[in-house]
Each structure stands twice: as structure tokens, then as C-alpha cells.
Amino acid sequence: MSMKLEHVSYTYMPGTPYEKEALKDISLEIKKGEFVAVIGHTGSGKSTLVQNLNGLLHPTKGNASLDGVDLSGKSNEAKMARGRIGMVFQYPEHQLFAETVYEDIAFGPQNLGLNYEETDARVKDAMKFVGLDFETYAGRSPFSLSGGQMRRVAIAGVVAMNPDYLILDEPSAGLDPGSRDAVFAEVMELYKKRGTAIIMVTHSMEDAAQFAKRMLVVYDGRIIIDGKPGEVFLKEKEQLLKVGMDVPEVYKLADALRDKGLRLPKEITDAKTLLAEIKRRKGLR
Amino acid sequence: MLDITLGQYYPGNSFIHRLDPRTKILATLLLIVAVFLANTAVGYGALCVMVLFIIALSGLPFMLVLKSVKPLLFIIVLTLLLHTLLGQGEHVLYQWKFLKVTEEGVQMGVKMSMRLILLLMISSILTFTTSPIVLTDGIEALLRPFRVIGVPAHELAMMMTIALRFIPTLMEETDRIIKAQTARGADFSSGNLLARAKNMLPILVPLFISAFRRADDLAVAMEARCYRGGEGRTRMHQLAYHAGDAAAFVFAFAMIGLMAFLRWGPNVL
């Protein structure tokens, strides 16, 4: 059970003066139940990478598959495979279109060919999942909601398809801290309770460190680092800085404290652990 | 979706690319006049050589310019056929019932289709070598004298510039919305016409909403920077004629002169 890229290259507008090679010979495997963060600079190719992963773009060279089914095919099998990979785009609230929240969320399940009862169950389930009360919101126009609520409706629209793999492109962009935490809590619940594999594109090292179990760093169309966030931030700091990325603040603070002579263990990945360590070292409670 | 070349501009830095847009627009008009003046085989031959010469100067791939004929190919072939089959004349080459192929008819058909092909190629060289924004600047400058009779030159140009500016943005947006709805299993290619039109709704509604949002944002941004129309505005890119522009004008007028001579002058050939 895995999604696979084998020697994938992708070129935009080949054969024109605007030709651009966005991915260069990428091989990658993501197993079911993983939580992967994809980080990289604007224009590094990370969006192209995830769109190749879910079959929206078809590799110029190489191939992309899910459980051995080629995603670029026109067969029913390929279509079913693509349906198992959900994708939440950047600013997903911009794709809302229906007259009511209910209809918008039902769009995906209906396209999967589910009947009325199943669709209804999926919509209710998805709305509950993203914390929107069914009675209050189902009949309302999505355009009358706040930004954070609109995004939740959009995410619910993808969650209602019950994907095995969920790709999120900058899910927290443009949200206030409250909505941001709510969105991440939902994503974590999907990951933990339903075993959905999460592939999250992000600019934020903090988010990658806090949530992901595996981290891919994309630079100039290639994956240059692939590893556990904690290890990557400790071992590959130089490389990250070189490609214009950074390490989370808590790593920087720990480093600064070490420079000042405080003895801290190496594996500090979040603020809580750091605080506990400082207290322990200083003999505080 | 994004593979469509916009305004078909083909970036480059050739002599033709560097000409002032006003020169290019006016020279294109002059050459179009020259095409209409031509009426002999020698004239059309000279025009073909001229177009090849300009393409060579511009560094455009010949096939690219030739492709610009494609949208009107049907009309060109139709013109050729109608003139060939229905043209009147004395020298009958072939006759079948009321259809009569005459030498004059064939000549007329070839001339008419040559004229269309030349017109298309000349005007597409203009759009291939001039970016839409520069072209708009040129149109604005050329329309400015007509302001006295009420032509809103600046406003027209500003509208064109904004429209052009937003075409790629809206195409990108369309692309993203299509992808997003495709990822939700939307199908845009099956069903009858009505079903397909209905399937477009999930694309059109978000697209319109975003277009209005962008228009609103842009209006606010322009007002915040004190935009009050064209009165007294200066330009970042000042248009200026150079020696090359003079050469282009001389060339265009020479072509008109040559065509006029071939048409009305003493029959030297």
C-alpha cells in the first residue's frame, strides 16, 4: 500500500520559449499512514511534485502510481485510484461554488457515484469532523461564512470523499491562529483515527517539526533531504540554511542557550521539552 | 490550459522586436495598403519576398508565422474554390455542367488567397514581436491626437492593459479551480451539451467570484495610489523613435511605391 514516483520529471510548456523543468528525476515512495511534510522555497517544485503524486499532472518522464496502478491512465481503475487521493489546494475556499454548504460538501461523494443515503451520511460526518454544526450551517450559503469557516467547508468537501491519502497545500495560509489550530487538529485526527496518510506542503518549519513524521525538502526540482524532522533539523541545519530554508525557533533558542554554556540534550524538538530541560538544569520546579 | 501562448508574443531582441510600437503598428497598416495595391504576379512575388525578409529580420521561426494562417485556413480554401469554380472568363480550362474553370478564375482565386495569407502573416508578425503591454502603449500614443474629438485614448488603453494583465492571472485561477474540482471527481467531458454546461458551474461560479474580488481589490489599490485618470500622467517607459524606425517607415513607403508603380506605372515587364 503506497504511492510511488519512479524517475519522475515534469516540464511545463515543453517546446516553447517558456519551457521550464520543474521536477528532475524524482523517485519517492509514500506508504499508507505516513505523515509527510514537503517544504521548499516558492518555485522549488513542491506544488508540481504533489500534483504529480495525485495524478492531476502527468509526469513528462517516469511514472506515478498508487498501489501499482498508473495514475495517468484513462481506465476506470486509474480513475478510482485518483479518487482515493484527496487534495486540499491553497486557499481551498476559493473553489466553493454551490448554493448551500450541504451541496458543496456533497459534490465529491456524488462524483464518486454514492447514492443519496451514503452521500448524506458522508456530508454529516464530514461536517461534524470539521466542527460545523449541521443544523446551523448545512442550509446556508458558503459565501456568507467567515474565512475560517469557508476553509473548513472546503476541507470537509475533500474529507467527505474518505481519501486514503490526503494532500494539503499550505492549509494554514491566511488563517488566524485560532482557525489554524482548529484545521491542524482536524488533520491530526484524520491521521490518527482514520489512518489517512497526510502529505502537507508548508513553508513553516514549526508546522513540519510539530506534526510531520517525515520531511522532504525540495530544492530546484529535486528532493535534497528526506528524513525525520527532528534529525533533519539537527543534522542538516547548514544545508537548510544554504537553500534558503530555516530551522524552527526552538532549535535556534536551544543552540543559543548551548552557546551560552547551558548543557542541554540534543533531542529537543519542542518548546515544552526545552522548558522542562531548562528548569531541570537550573533546579527549578 | 496554461499551454496557450498569450497574445502570442514571442520574446526576442531582434531589429523588429526593438522597433517602436507606433512604428510597427503604422508600418503594418502601410504594408496592408501595399498588399491591397498589388495586382500582378510580380507584385505578389515581391510581397512574399518582403514577408520572408521581415521574418528573417525578426528571428521568428518561419513555421510559427505560417501557423497564424491556420484559423482562417477554411476561408482561404473556400475563397480559392469559389473563385476557381465560379469565376467568369474567356479562357475555359475545364467545364462540367454549370461549373466552369477559367484561367481568369484560377488567377483571381490564387490572388485572393495570397492576399489573405499575406495579411495574416504581416499582422501576426506585429503581435509576435510586440508584447501586449507595449502594443497597448503604442495604440494609446497613436490615439492621443483623437482626444479632441472625444476618443478616450487613455481610458481605452488602461482598460486594455488591465484586461491583458489579468488574462494570465485568471487563466491560472481557472487552471487551479479545474484541478481542484477534478480532484473532487468532477467530470467535464462526458454527457450531452446541457449536462456539460451544468458541469461547468463548479468552475464558473468560483471564477466569477474571484474576478469580482480581484477587480474590487485593484480598484481600491489604484485609488489608494491616487489614480484619477490620464490627465497629467507621465509614463515610466517613454516611447521614442530611433534610426531603425525611420528605416522601417522608408521601407514601408517604398513597398507602397513599388506596388503603386506595378499597378499603374508603365508596363515594363
What ipTM did this prediction achieve?
A: 0.83
A9-35: b or e for each residue (b if 16 or more CB lie within 10 Å)?
bbbbeeeeeeeebbbbebebebeebbb
Residues of B in contact with A97 (CB under 8 A): 201-206
Q: Is the minimum CB–CB distance between A96 and chain B shorter than 8 Å?
A: yes
> First vs last Cα of chain B: how many Å apart?
53
Mark whether A172 and A259 lie in a shared domain. no
Residues A118 and A36 in one domain: yes
For residue A182, the model assigns a pLDDT of 87
Q: Which of residues 163-222 of A touch B (CB under 8 A)?
A: none
Placement of cell 530544492 in the chain: A219
Residue B1 has pLDDT above 60, yes or no: no
A174 and A274 share one domain: no
Q: What are phi and psi of A117, to 5 degrees?
A: -65, -45
Domain shared by A153 and A256, yes or no? no
Residue closest to A150 by CA, chosen among A92, A109, A202, A102: A92
Position A147 scores a pLDDT of 86
pLDDT computed for residue B167 by the predictor: 84
Looking at residue B27, its pLDDT comes to 95
Residue A254 structural domain: 248-285
B5 vs A16: CB contact, 8 Å cut-off? yes
d(CA A57, CA A203): 22
CB contact (8 A) between residue A111 and residue B210: no
Taking CB atoms and an 8 Å limit, are A83 and B185 in contact across chains?
A: yes
Scan for cell 516558492, then name that residue.
Answer: A42
Residue A265 has φ and ψ, to the nearest 5°, of: -65, 160
For position B205, what pLDDT does the model report?
A: 92
Is there a single domain that holds both residue A74 and residue A98? Answer: yes
Indicate whether B256 pLDDT > 90: yes
Q: Does residue A199 share a domain with residue A278?
A: no
Select from B3, B10, B179 the Cβ nearest to the Cβ of A13: B3
**Cell numbers standing for residue A184:** 491542524
Report d(CA A48, CA A99) in Å as an integer.
Answer: 31
- Whether A130 and A152 have beta carbons less than 8 Å apart is answered as yes
For chain B, what is the mean pLDDT? Answer: 87
Q: Report pLDDT for B85.
A: 82
- pLDDT given for residue B3 in this prediction: 39
Where do we find the cell 547548514?
Answer: A238
Distance (Å, whole) CA A243 – CA A81: 35
Total count of domains within chain A? 2
String of DSSP letters for chain A: -EEEEEEEEEEESTTSTT-EEEEEEEEEEEETT-EEEEEE-TTSSHHHHHHHHTTSS--SEEEEEETTEETT--SHHHHHHHHTEEEE-SSGGGG--SSSHHHHHHHHHHHTT--HHHHHHHHHHHHHHTT--HHHHTTS-GGGS-HHHHHHHHHHHHHTT--SEEEEESTTTT--HHHHHHHHHHHHHIIIII--EEEEEES-HHHHHHH-SEEEEEETTEEEEEE-HHHHHHHSHHHHHHTT----HHHHHHHHHHHTT----S---SHHHHHHHHHHHHT--
pLDDT of residue A157: 93
Find all residues with CB under 8 Å of A90, minimum gap 6, and list them. A169, A170, A173
* A174, A283: one domain: no
Residue B5: pLDDT over 70: no
Q: Which of A72, A85, A95, A151 is most worth mutating to test chain B (most B CB atoms within 10 A of its CB)?
A: A95
CATH number at residue A108: 3.40.50.300
Phi, then psi, of A17 in degrees rounded to 5? -65, -15
Q: Is the Cβ of A67 closer than 8 Å to some Cβ of chain B? A: no
Average pLDDT over residues B38-56: 92
Residues A217 and A140 in one domain: yes
Identify the sign of the CA torsion A240, A241, A246, A247.
Answer: positive
| B4, pLDDT greater than 70 | no
Contact (CB<8Å) A95/B202: yes
Q: Does residue B96 surpass a pLDDT of 90?
A: no
The pLDDT of residue B268 = 61
CB < 8 Å to A80, chain B:
none
CB contact under 8 A, B202 and A107: yes
pLDDT of residue A98: 92
> How confident is the model over B180-227, as pLDDT tens digits?
998 888 877 777 888 888 888 899 999 999 999 999 999 999 999 988
Same domain, A204 and A263: no
pLDDT score recorded for residue A137? 94
Q: Over 60: is that where the pLDDT of B65 sits?
A: yes
pLDDT of residue B2 exceeding 70, the answer is no
pLDDT given at position A165? 94
The residue of B184, B198, B204, B210 whose CB has the most chain A CBs within 10 angstroms, and thus the best one to mutate to test that interface, is B184
Q: Which three cell numbers stand for residue A113?
A: 457515484
pLDDT for residue B43 is more than 70: yes
Chain A residue with the nearest C-alpha to that of B3: A13
Q: Which residues of B touch A111 (CB under 8 A)?
A: 184-187
Same domain as A197, residue A223: yes
| A61 touches B: beta carbon within 8 Å | no
Cα(A210)–Cα(A248) distance, rounded to whole angstroms?
10
As a dihedral over the C-alpha atoms of residue B243, residue B244, residue B245, residue B248, rounded to 10 degrees, the angle is 130
- What's the gap in Å between the CA of A157 and the closest CA on chain B? 8
Cβ distance A161 to B185 less than 8 Å, yes or no, reads yes
Residues A228 and A255 in one domain: no
Regarding whether A277 and A205 lie in a shared domain, the answer is: no
pLDDT per residue as tens digits for the range B136-152: 889 989 998 988 898 88
- As given in the structure block, the three cell numbers for residue B120 are 495574416
Longest Cα–Cα distance of chain A, Å, equals 67
- Asked whether the beta carbons of residue B184 and residue A143 sit closer than 8 angstroms, the reply is no
For A144-153, how does the pLDDT look when each residue is reduced to its tens digit (9 = 90+)? Answer: 998 889 999 9
Residues of chain A with pLDDT under 50: none
